[in-house]
Homo-oligomer: A and B are copies of this chain.
Amino acid sequence: MASQFGHNIRVSIFGQSHSRAIGVNIDGLPAGEAVDLEEAGRFLARRAPGKAPYATARREADAPVVLSGLVDGYTCGAPLCAIIENKDARSKDYEQLRDLPRPSHADYTAYVKYGKYHDIRGGGHFSGRLTAPLCFAGAVALQILARRGIWVGAHIAAIAGVEDAPFDPVDLTAEQLLAPGRSPFPVVEDSAGQRMREQIEQARLDQDSVGGIVECAALGVPAGLGEPMFDGLENRLAAALFGIPAVRGVEFGTGFAAAALRGSQHNDPFSQQPDGTVRTRTNHHGGILGGISSGMPILLRCAFKPTPSISQPQQTVSLSAHQDRTLVIEGRHDPCVVPRAVPCVEAAVALVLLDLIL
């Protein structure tokens, strides 16, 4: 059940980087939900590669074909399956990797687990390309959530140590939330984005790569959603988010920084609102208390490691010769996956929230 998640909806992702197609099956969507495929296409375009200089040059059509579950633009209650054909697959690039596992990739662990049968081409099922069907599923979820007044957005919080301004944890508006996603480089402050792009370009010139952090928020999530202990919002969100390649950490609200605060600093005072609702004056808790939503903005951050594919010579081993070897990875690769990861984070969060709301 490796490539599935969800309880009320079940999202199953399939495909390898160079298989005939990749795709996603979503079981459990309610009937009668409009799905705007053009809007989904625009969402998918946000993770599409090929936007120089910070993305790989492999161009993918990435036009999802819906096989089932949709009739005249509406979900019909049956599982919604969509596939994306793999067209531009240059398999020759990858053959040496079967013997020389790339550092920080899954080549070695996949070899241990699957032996010689692992589909090494393009990273196989471990490829970042598998986030395309995740994003398609997320696009469907975002449309359903939006009709219920729930909005999910994300931005690049940091790249190579350059930090963007954070979302306002208390007074974040939907307009502020969604603005970064409308830009080709999704940040809150353009000046930060400019400095991040300089870092990425410098890494590229150095045949190196950089990592970063994505901050994501959800607005409109009603209070009372989630469960205590092992099935709370954090548990489910984290389990989904670690399914995105290169994620190394997930934190909610003030997260790791909370560890250095005192209770008097971190506790969020409650406040009665004139409209009858209860809010908190600060939002260190990131909209989640005891695994259950509080009605405040849900806030989380994901750390992404630097792209492991770099052009510099690296030390590895020959699995056949049992000797150390030097590896030079050829081809062009993203010096930074973070900008393309932003919609992936939104997709994972949207799918978990939809799962919980149904």
Contact = CB atoms under 8 A, between A and B. Distances in A.
Given A78-B15, A263-B210, A68 B21 contact: yes
Contacts of A223: 108-109, 112
15 contacts: A1-B10, A14-B27, A16-B68, A19-B69, A19-B78, A76-B114, A78-B124, A104-B263, A109-B294, A210-B262, A213-B259, A258-B304, A262-B306, A263-B306, A267-B310
Interface in A31-54: 31-32
A310 B263 contact: yes
A14 B248 contact: no
A61 interface: no
Nearest to A274: B322
Interface string A67-82: 1110100111111110
A316 interface: yes
A110 B290 contact: yes
A230 B31 contact: no
B21 A114 contact: no
Contacts of A146: none
Nearest to A157: B259
A12 to B, nearest CB: 5
A113 to B, nearest CB: 4
A143 interface: no
A216 to B, nearest CB: 14
Contacts of A63: none
Interface stretch (A147-155, A168-176, A184-192, A278-286): A278-286
B270 A19 contact: no
B115 A32 contact: yes
A288 B87 CA distance: 31
A96 interface: no
B270 A101 contact: yes
B2 A209 contact: no
Interface in A229-260: 229-232, 234-236, 238-240, 242-243, 245, 247-256, 258-260
Interface string A3-40: 11101101011111001111101011001100000000
A236 B309 CA distance: 26
Given A22-B68, A224-B112, A266-B104, A15 B272 contact: no
A130 interface: yes
A97 interface: no
Nearest to A315: B269
Nearest to A214: B259
A271 interface: yes
A159 B259 CA distance: 7
With a 10 A CB-CB cut-off, give which of A161, A223, A239, A309 has the most chain B CB atoms. A239
